[in-house]
A and B are shown apart, each in its own frame.
Chain A
Amino acid sequence: MSNLAHLMQRMMFLTLIGCLSGNTNELTVFAAENNGISVIGVGKVEARPSVVELTGLIVGQGQLAGDAVTKFHGNRRRAEAAFKNLKIPGLEVVEDGMSLYSAMTASQMQAAMRGMAVNNTQAQELSVSESIKLRITGIEKLNTQELLETIVKIVDSGKDAGVIIGNKTQSIPGVYNPSAAKNTMATFKVINVQKLKEEAFQKAIADAKAQAEKLARLTGVKLGKVISINGESDSQNNSSGVYNPYIGRMISANNVTNSDEQATSLLKAIPISVAVRVTYAID
């Protein structure tokens, strides 16, 4: 009888676990069959971006290599001076790599795509270009209007100085160019993500403990020690905002997942969330 009662009790317990695990939004919890109670605790911290970043491209092009270099140096010097003259607190210009290439013109590209002869390939211009990042820190101190004015100042002076601001790339006629359709000018970033994650983990652990205690109370068992913890951060996937393939590409290219920053194209609080799976023993 005692065995039967024990079996019944066990079945009821498993049914309860099944019900609870079905409602994943409320409680993500289940008990391991033999190893105690396992729960998944979620911790979430929201942080307002403190950095705004704009990408820029300085280009010098010429049929003579010397011309391309002269133009590049001139454009670079003027761009640097233009941004410096803005005297925006916290603005820094970060070099992001230089490249040298000889590219086809739009007409030549179009001809090549159509399987036609590409003329004047000898007259292709040499391009010297450098990507730069225009980074303003401490934007959390500014209100939206002030921030907008600051960004517009940078965009304007960049355009005046001949810097290509944003992610816009050269269009090939007849080919859809998503960057031309929507040219994202600014990326907002939260910094100190690791510190924020620590806070989130604390919250996740507390959440897990609360869930486990609740289960123990419901099932009439006593919660024991923590047997195992499996923590994972899903903040990147959970960060809200419009999906932007360019930011995604940029993030993957720069391996941002391991960095201390997190980006979004929208100026709003970014959620940093983590999840931990904790297994408690049953005493």
Chain B
Amino acid sequence: MLNMGAHFKLIQLKLLWLQMLAWGTLFAPLCVTEPLSAQIFVGEARAVAADAAGNDGTSPHKMPGFSISVDEKKLNLLDDYERYVRHRMWEKALTTIKELSETKSTSPLLPTTEGFLVDAEDRIFMALISLPAEGREAFRLFFDGKARKQFEELPSQSEFKTPQAISDAKKIFSQFFLTSVGDDVADLLGNDAFERGEFTRAARYWRLILDHHPDTNLVEIDINVKYALALIRSRQSDQAASNIQVISQQFPGKKITLGGNSADPVVYLKSLIAQEPVKAAPSLNLADTVPRLISQPVKLQQPENKPRWKLTYLDKTASQAIVKSQTDYYGRGKSYLTFVPAMAVDEKRAYINFYGVCFALDLQSGKLVWRNAKFTDLGKHFSNYSFHRSSKLKQYHITVSGNTLLATLVPEKEMNQSRAAYRLVAYQADSGKTLWTAKVGTESFISKPLVEGNHIYVVSHAQNNKLIKLNSLSLKTGQKEWSIPLGSVVSGNSNNGMQIMPVPLLQKQGDSLFILTNNGALFEVSIPLKTINWVFRYPYKSNQTNTNYYYYAIKEETELHTNGQMIRDQNLLYFKEAGANEVYALDLSAKKVIWKRPVKVSAQIVGVDQKNVYIMSKELEAIDRKSRKLNWAVSLPVAAGGLSALIDPNDAWVFTSRGIFEISKTNGDIVNIYRGSDLTSLGGAIDLRNGLLICVSNQAVTAYPISTQQSKKDVGNKKIAPKNSNLLNN
């Protein structure tokens, strides 16, 4: 029993404890600032990563824009598996992953958390190898026996040739890589891929062994050397060099047996790197408006205003008809006045596609070699309502390969059809004779055709259908070889109610074909396998409301006919879509966004060098490749389409309404202005070929000679990537 005083004291003590507890709780965070700071940093880093991915937690297949179907059942199973792994429910997790890898997917792609959709099998494999150590132990316990049994049934290395054996090995690899036979089967598949010349794939198998089987029974130095060899053969010199350094540090002085001889692997691999030629730029079709790096400084010959030749293709009738169509409700919103036609150039001629009127010019004299229709006939089409309904200014493409010229256009006979499809027509480049017109059902061709060897790659869609397809056609006959569906686009509406399809851009790199849809998706397609390797998705803001009132302002992107563009430098891809207001830098090997930043919707990527990404609208902007900061910008009197720039070692060259501007790459200062002879034009595209600076404006094609020293050095393909840089654009 306590007396009253004792009770009082006890209550006081309790209160004191409570107060101490409260103060302690209040001040506790102040004593642990470092861990909290770290947490804050991690939080910020995550926020930045999420921001960079641009998905805000939205699954890539659910982002607004381009639509790609995925196997929802598999996706749910994958979610279940990842949840079980988080909760360390190994039995359930392993049952789920088994079901995932054994059932066939209804769709070839599954989403990742980084905004990508990848091959469903790869995605499941990635989920499998990301198991923590405890999960791996459980995996081996569950599946080691079964895997070993299946592996023993495989033929030996010497007999490992049949497709069935390879298929079985791949199955074991994808399902049981984490078991004790995973490294063996990966090595088998690596050897097989290397022998078949699939060096990137071989490197991947050996890399997986090094990363996920530290206790491998294989000879580690052999795997390392094979991995480095595959990297060298696949021309990934930087990664190969770092792997050679790892070999020299981990296995100093060790020898390997090569062709029966003992050799120092480091010396041997280094000698191979030195022998391996710098990856050359692929054959470049110069019809596009994208500049390439030029190895030598460009210097215009004097007198500056005198061109080698000039050809005005816009005749009076067409000119008057275009001006008149601007006051027409249906023609006004298309900005015909500022349209600069697409050009293709080869060694002898320049080719232009002007609303379907294709013509060739002799590069040396500027004389008209041939044309497929009369310029004067365009005038009467311009006064026709149906012409305006079907004319889509971004779909008039032209490209040349050997003696074949390819153009996408509405044939003259169909110009007055209100729902005319865009045909792919092949001409003889030297004579203009029509070779064939591609007939792929009722398909309308929307992308610029890309020619590689005897194949044409081009994207099309059926009329009134939003599903786009990649087609491979024969260059000789125009017959379809194969096609794969890519997905459905979100199309816009023109002011006359017609569907406006996005115009995808194609680029080929080795066996891969990149497709920028200009609709919120970037594809990598494997040409040999005819499958989609992966898709990168990002939000596409489509405006489907019909706001095309007569008095509505013509947007700058319409005035400048801004196109989407992508430029690849080794593993980095920079791209900006038409209609989008962001530039992305994407690491293709790590499949993640390095950075993205807002730019004007009207801006188009026009070049990349070692330091900057150059984008152009009514100003030329240099964005730092590393920090994504704007290094400089210069306002230019750009007034028409054909956005392009030539990037030489010191300067950038732009053809504007006030002449050709030479701009310093250091700070954007205007070094020189060459007014030229196309003074009444609005400016346009610029290109360099055979010692000629070729400028295509909204009314003429003009060629200016560059200095003799330069022209001699630039014989042939004028745009040469610098050494050690695989700077490609097409």
Residues of A within 8 A of B (CB): 59-60, 62-64, 66-67, 70-71, 74-75, 78, 81-82, 105-107, 110-111, 114, 116, 119, 123, 159-162, 172-174
Contacts and interface: CB of A to CB of B under 8 A. Distances in A.
A174 to B, nearest CB: 3
B202 to A, nearest CB: 44
B292 to A, nearest CB: 26
Contacts of A106: 553
A17 to B, nearest CB: 62
A80 to B, nearest CB: 11
A110 B551 contact: yes
Given A62-B630, A70-B630, A75 B635 contact: yes
Nearest to B633: A71
Contacts of B581: 63, 123
B-side binding surface: helix, strand, loop or mixed? loop
Contacts of A78: 634, 668-670
Given A107-B555, A162-B619, A162-B634, A74 B667 contact: yes
B553 A64 contact: no
11 contacts: A62-B630, A63-B599, A67-B630, A70-B630, A70-B633, A71-B630, A81-B669, A111-B547, A116-B547, A159-B658, A162-B634
* 6 nearest A-B residue pairs (beta carbon): A162-B635, A174-B551, A106-B553, A71-B633, A173-B553, A63-B598
B543 A160 contact: no
B633 A67 contact: yes
B552 interface: yes
Contacts of A161: 635, 670
B193 interface: no
Q: Which of A67, A106, A107 has the most CB of B within 10 A?
A: A67
A166 to B, nearest CB: 15
Contacts of B632: 70, 74
A128 to B, nearest CB: 12
Contacts of A81: 669
B552 A173 contact: yes
A41 to B, nearest CB: 55
A74 B547 contact: no
Contacts of A116: 547
Interface in B631-648: 631-637
Given A64-B598, A67-B630, A160 B552 contact: no
Contacts of A162: 619, 634-637
A159 B637 contact: yes
Contacts of A59: 635
Contact of B597 (A64, A105, A107): A64
Q: Which of A63, A105, A123 has the most CB of B within 10 A?
A: A63
Nearest to B597: A64
B629 interface: yes
B588 interface: no
Contacts of A160: 637, 658, 661, 670, 673
B639 to A, nearest CB: 12
Given A78-B668, A161-B670, A71 B619 contact: yes
Interface in B601-634: 619, 621, 629-634
Contact of A66 (B619, B629, B658): B629
A115 to B, nearest CB: 13
A57 B329 CA distance: 34
A117 to B, nearest CB: 9
A107 B552 contact: yes
Interface in B411-445: none
Nearest to B669: A78
A114 B598 CA distance: 29
Q: Which of B543, B629, B630 has the most CB of A within 10 A?
A: B630
Contacts of B634: 74-75, 78, 162
B668 A74 contact: yes
Q: Which of B543, B552, B629, B673 has the most CB of A within 10 A?
A: B552
Contacts of B667: 74
Nearest to A78: B669
Contacts of B670: 78, 82, 160-161
A7 to B, nearest CB: 75
A279 to B, nearest CB: 62
A214 B661 CA distance: 71
A42 B617 CA distance: 59
A123 B635 CA distance: 21
Contacts of A71: 619, 621, 630, 633, 635
B638 to A, nearest CB: 11
Given A66-B629, A66-B630, A173-B552, A119 B543 contact: yes
Q: Which of B552, B581, B633 has the most CB of A within 10 A?
A: B633
Interface string B547-558: 101011101000
Q: Which of A66, A74, A106, A174 has the most CB of B within 10 A?
A: A74
A172 B554 CA distance: 11
Nearest to A117: B545
Contacts of B619: 71, 162
Nearest to A72: B633
B305 to A, nearest CB: 15
B277 to A, nearest CB: 40
Nearest to B661: A160
A49 B551 CA distance: 42
A37 B541 CA distance: 83
